A = this chain, B = another copy of it.
Amino acid sequence: MDKLTHFDKNGNAVMVDVSEKKENERIATACSTISLSKETLDCIKNGEVGKGDVLGVARVAGIMAAKKTSDLIPMCHPLMITKCNIDYEIDEVESKIKILATVKLVGKTGVEMEALTAATITALTIYDMCKAMDKRMVIENTFLLKKTGGKSGEFNF
């Protein structure tokens, strides 16, 4: 139970004390993948070239969501992130879009949750914009891909 740091010794949820932690540059990249029908993927791709920019709207949503992380995840500290970007990799064979969200900070605690929140809300926004034509999309495998900075060192999934 000691390992669940978001609880005090009585088991009560707590926003953990990071006052003494050093201000370091910290970077986290999270990954999420949305699986959709070929027809939907084609619509998205066509939209990108010219008009109907699903991925552009979803990118804006993801970046804005990174800034809302501490408002969404109860025990997250408010943080002043210094960078956020969202990249896509389209896999036409598997009919999937991979979302990579990277968040950077100079601060006392990591930005894993900010990256995960950005990736997730990006995926949900794609879902929202395509759901009229395809309700069977699945958001697959959201996870922390990479993390640097902080005392626990570098992490790679």
A90: interface (CB < 8 Å)? no
Question: Which residues on the B side are within 8 Å of A14 (C-beta)?
Answer: 63, 83-85
A side interface size, CB within 8 A:
91
- What DSSP secondary structure best describes chain A's contact surface? mixed
Using A7-B51, A7-B52, A147-B135 as known contacts, say yes or no to A13 and B63 having CB atoms under 8 A apart.
yes
**Stoichiometry (number of copies):** 6
Shortest distance from the beta carbon of A135 to any chain B beta carbon, whole Å = 6
What is the CA–CA distance of A77 and B18 in the complex, to the nearest angstrom? 20
Question: Which residues on the B side are within 8 Å of A93 (C-beta)?
Answer: none
CB < 8 Å: which of B15, B59, B121, B141 contacts A84?
B15
- A interface list, Cβ under 8 A from B: 1, 3-8, 10-19, 25, 32, 43-44, 46-47, 50-54, 56-57, 59-61, 63-68, 70-87, 104-108, 112-113, 116-117, 120-121, 123-125, 127-133, 135-144, 147, 155, 157
